[in-house]
Amino acid sequence: MLGSDLQREVEELYNTYARVLDDGPLEAWPDLFTDPCTYQIVPRENFEADLPLAIMRCESKGMLMDRVHSVQETIVYEPRYLRHHITNISGTEVDGDLTVQANYSVIEVLPEELPRILSVGRYLDKVVRAGGQLLFKEKRVVYDSELVPNSIVFPL
Amino acid sequence: MTTSTTPLPHLNWPQGDVTTIPYALYTDPDIFDLEMARIFQGRGWSYVGLEVEVREPGDYLVTNIGNRSVVIARNQEGNLTGFANRCAHRGVKICRQRRGNTRMFVCPYHQWSYNADGELRGVPFIKGVKQQGGMPDDFERADYNLPKLEIETRNGVIFASFDTSTPPLEEYLGVTNTTWFDRVFDGRELKVLGYSRQLIPGNWKLMFENIKDPYHASLLHVFLVTFGLFRADQKSQVLMDDTGAHGLLISQRGEQKADESTRDITNLKENFELADPRLLDPVKEYDGDATVVMQTVWPNLIVQQQSNTLALRQIQPRGPGSFELAWTFFAYADDDEEMVTRRLRQANLMSSAGLVSTDDSEVIKLAQDGISAFQDESGTLLMGGKGTDNEQHMVTEAAIRAFYKHYRAVMEI
């Protein structure tokens, strides 16, 4: 368990993370990571079988920026709104580095459709302090479902 | 088997025509049922998995052929088997785990048990309890074996069929498609890197059309075109087998530049440079010039080799307006770590969050959205003429026309 000040600071990082992805600017998303870093979206099927494939895999701030750039410039997709809901944030600290786990769900709204759950699962993260602020050194998004409803355009 | 007298909705489809495609083919439930019977339960080899996934006796995996759940297993003699995943008693789905290892497949309802050949072995209370109940005297367990699948393998890839009259796989694929299949599946042991599954809200044929359509790839996929991975001016081939069932799209990487072939792409990002070029760091690994080969194998498989990303995409129709696309990404067992990492990085281009394939799943949804209110109308396939023969360029829909030539023959419509 983290001390209450640290817990609050960690929760603020996740609040910022959700806000940046839901309301933008998307360019601010890579700034929440160290460089190098890892960001992966992993189907639970692969996670449990120890298979390395991630459906989104970034290994540096540059790759995060390339993903942002692609979402903004090259990928063709229907417009959509996303809302992240991050709960049950808990962590442990060893020598200042934090191992943090949280539940997440992301609700997606597409044109002419009712809201639906795009993804639900766990964040399995490593958080470190760099330049005075907490940043993600590792973020692993493990989604529970086998199926993805069509496409995941934005990071989870 | 459904007969040709099955009532079909009026299809406004001139005999033999493959340049107009009635939209009802993508929406009509009767057409869908006929497709399941004639295409997926009829003559044809459906991809069902890789041998490395069922390596040991007792290993099994659960997948779908069409909309039917099937079990692929390795029996105690070490042979691959396949059977329908539903109990002969009350039709209950027997096996609910994706994969595992077992000697007996036991139905959860009344615990009828089957061996890995799908043969009924155990029926609880078969003789009754205290001289009461039990099965009739003429009950033979052998009459209740599960519907068996024919199985063929080629260099580690498993195919199955409900129909015993399907010709041998090599004959089925034809010389050209066998040769290209063997380029990726060359006998080296394969290693599964992982799975990705998406439920795409569109008709399953739209997926095949998409992969058989090089015209769209050089326009829709800004990422591919921007980085020269697929462009209309590259040396390319569109090859079919004699029936039109299977197809190949073969091309080679070009440069990142704007010219005549990119002129019509309104949102080409000529100056997009990757901040981390490791994302696209392809190395040559096969003989010849081809750097991208997309093979479509009737009725449910796409073999993808784009640079160093290798995947089998299995099409599992769920209904007229929905299919699961199940991706199995793989490497070769003798790949070094650097190569595996390269394949994992390039996988960013593919599947449900792919920098490239997201374009396809999004467009397939929009196609289904558009089509569904215009069932009496038809789409057009005239790019590159009206033919169904091989082509040496990308500005053609010949492979989709060839697909529908075969489709009409199999469906008898």
**What's the pLDDT tens digit per position in B72-90?**
999 999 999 999 999 999 9
- B75 CB-near residues (< 8 Å, 6+ apart): B57, B81, B115, B116, B117
B46-152 and B176-411 in the same fold: no
- Record: contact A63-B278, CB cut-off 8 A: yes
Residues of chain B neighbouring A152 (CB-CB closer than 8 A): 352-353, 358
Strand pairing report for B292-297 and B120-122: unpaired
pLDDT score, position B223: 87
Does domain B46-152 match CATH 3.40.50.720?
Answer: no
Residue of B nearest to A149 (CA): B199
Residues of chain B neighbouring A60 (CB-CB closer than 8 A): 275-276, 278
Average pLDDT over all residues of chain B: 93
pLDDT in tens, A4-62: 999 999 999 999 999 999 999 999 999 999 999 999 999 999 999 999 999 999 999 99
Residue A87 contacts B where some CB pair is shorter than 8 Å: no
In chain A, the domains with their CATH numbers are: 4-143 (3.10.450.50)
Among A147, A153, A154, A156, most B C-beta atoms within 10 A, so best to mutate, is A147
What separation in angstroms does the CA of A117 have from each of A104, A107, A141?
11, 4, 15
Residues of chain A neighbouring B196 (CB-CB closer than 8 A): 43, 53, 55, 148
Specify the amino acid at residue B358. Answer: T
pLDDT score, position B234: 82
- Record: contact A63-B199, CB cut-off 8 A: no
Residue A18 zone, left/alpha/beta (φ > 0; ψ -120 to 50; rest): alpha
Question: DSSP letter at B97?
Answer: S
The Cα B408–Cα B8 span in angstroms is: 14
Q: Bridge-partner residues for B344, per DSSP?
A: none
CA distance B219 to chain A (A): 11
pLDDT in tens, B301-313: 999 999 999 999 9
Domain boundaries, chain B: 46-152, 176-411
Average pLDDT over all residues of chain A: 97
pLDDT at B3 over 50: no
pLDDT score, position B2: 44
- Record: contact A56-B348, CB cut-off 8 A: yes
Nearest to A53 among B220, B329, B366 (CB): B329
Residue ranges with strand state E in B66-124: 68-74, 80-84, 99-101, 105-106, 113-114, 120-122
pLDDT in tens, B127-177: 999 999 999 999 999 999 999 999 999 999 999 999 999 999 999 999 999
CA distance A126 to chain B (A): 21
Residue ranges with strand state E in B207-269: 236-240, 247-251
pLDDT score, position B265: 66
- Record: contact B197-A147, CB cut-off 8 A: yes
- Record: contact B355-A148, CB cut-off 8 A: no
- Record: contact B196-A53, CB cut-off 8 A: yes
pLDDT tier, B1 (very low <50, low <70, confident <90, very high otherwise) = very low
Residues of chain B neighbouring A63 (CB-CB closer than 8 A): 275-276, 278-279
Residues of chain A neighbouring B194 (CB-CB closer than 8 A): 43, 45-46, 49, 51-54
pLDDT in tens, B190-218: 999 999 999 999 999 999 999 999 888 88
* CATH no., domain B176-411: 3.90.380.10
Q: What phi, psi does B257 have (nearest 5°)?
A: -155, 160
Residues of chain A neighbouring B222 (CB-CB closer than 8 A): 73-76
Q: Could you tell me how many CB contacts below 8 A there are between chain A and chain B?
A: 130
Q: What phi, psi does B292 have (nearest 5°)?
A: -140, 125
Residue of B nearest to A58 (CA): B345
With b for 16 or more beta-carbon neighbours within 10 A and e for fewer, the B300-333 pattern comes to bbbbbbbbbbbbbbbbbbbebbbbbbbbbbbbbe
Task: Please report the sign of the dihedral spanned by the C-alpha atoms of residue B219, residue B223, residue B228, residue B229.
Answer: negative
pTM (predicted TM-score): 0.95
pLDDT score, position A31: 98
First to last CA, chain A: 25
pLDDT at A96 over 90: no
Q: What is the mean pLDDT of residues B99-114?
A: 97
pLDDT tier, B256 (very low <50, low <70, confident <90, very high otherwise) = low
The Cα B299–Cα A101 span in angstroms is: 43
How large is the ipTM? 0.97
Residue A75 contacts B where some CB pair is shorter than 8 Å: yes
Contact B143, B160 (CB under 8 A): no
